[in-house]
Copies of this chain bind each other. A is one copy, B any other.
Amino acid sequence: MDDAHTVIWNRPERAAKGPAPSRTRAEITAAAIAIADAEGIDALSMRRVAKELGTGTASLYRYLASKDDLLDLMLDAVAAEDGGPPAPTGDWRGDLRTLAYRSRATIHRHPWMTSLAAGRPSLGPNSLDATEHALAALDPLGFDIDVMITVVDTLHAFVRGYAIGELAQQEAVRRSGVGNQEWMDAHAPYLDKVVKAGRHPLLARVIRDAELPHAADSAERGFELGLERLLDGWEANLPVRP
Contacts from A to B (Cβ < 8 Å): 3-4, 6-7, 9-10, 68, 114-115, 117-121, 123, 125, 128-129, 131-132, 135-136, 139, 145-151, 153-154, 156-162, 164-165, 167-169, 171-172, 175, 185-187, 189-191, 194, 199-203, 205-206, 209-213, 221-222, 225-226, 228-234, 236-237
Contact = CB atoms under 8 A, between A and B. Distances in A.
B162 A153 contact: yes
Contacts of A189: 3-4, 10
B165 A153 contact: yes
Contacts of A117: 164, 168
A161 B163 CA distance: 9
- For this chain, the copies found in one complex come to 2
A122 B163 CA distance: 15
Contact of A120 (B157, B168, B229): B168
B172 A165 contact: no
A153 B210 CA distance: 14
B190 A226 contact: no
Nearest to A174: B119
Determine which residue in A132, A205, A221 has the highest number of CB atoms from chain B within 10 A of its CB, and name it.
A132
Contacts of A128: 194, 200, 203
B149 A212 contact: yes
A103 to B, nearest CB: 11
